[in-house]
Amino acid sequence: MAEFCRLPAHTSITENGETPTDVYMLVDGLMRAYIRTENGKIYTKSIFKPVSFVGSLSALINNSTSLLTYESITSCKAYKLNFKKIIELSKTDDEIKSLYIKILEKVFQKAEKRNLELITLDAKDRYIKLRREIPNIDDLIPQYEIASYLGITPVQMSRIRKKI
């Protein structure tokens, strides 16, 4: 059911417009979900660190296309899981069903926390919080990707880094 895989940095697991079939359990490395606008601007919605489940959950649940691209930022180790098989197993196996519910709860809690941070913290405080959560983030990913996640420009990111 689970297939171990190694993902080199910048490997896409789902592209915007694709209908995904798998979800990944990230055990090492960093991944992200982002959208690229028609004019080429990139907005990073999520950064995933171990242990996280990575994939377009809405697209998987609805069997529809993903609005986001999901990719490894660094080299990663993950387990690839077929979503339909998980759902089928959850219908007959209470432990799998319980695990699925816990995963959904964690995803919801993470989304709610992120939304609250975006409306209550300024960019500097979001950056400080991100550095607490991923202490070596500045060494792992480019500044423009961090800025995209924080919802600011790379110039603003430079200014914040100088102040800190």
Domain CATH for 37: 2.60.120.10
Lookup result for tokens 């699925």:
100
Domain, as residue range, for 12:
2-93
Name the pTM for this structure: 0.91
Q: Which two tokens stand for residue 59?
A: 């697209």
Does some domain include residue 6? Answer: yes
Span 114-126, pLDDT tens digits = 999 999 999 999 9
Average pLDDT value over all residues in the chain: 95
Confidence of residue 151 (pLDDT cuts 50, 70, 90): very high
User: Number of structural domains, the chain?
Assistant: 1
What residues contact residue 143 under an 8 Å CB cut-off, 6+ apart? Answer: 154, 157, 158, 161
Span 95-141, pLDDT tens digits = 999 999 999 999 999 999 999 999 999 999 999 999 999 999 999 99
d(CA 82, CA 24): 9
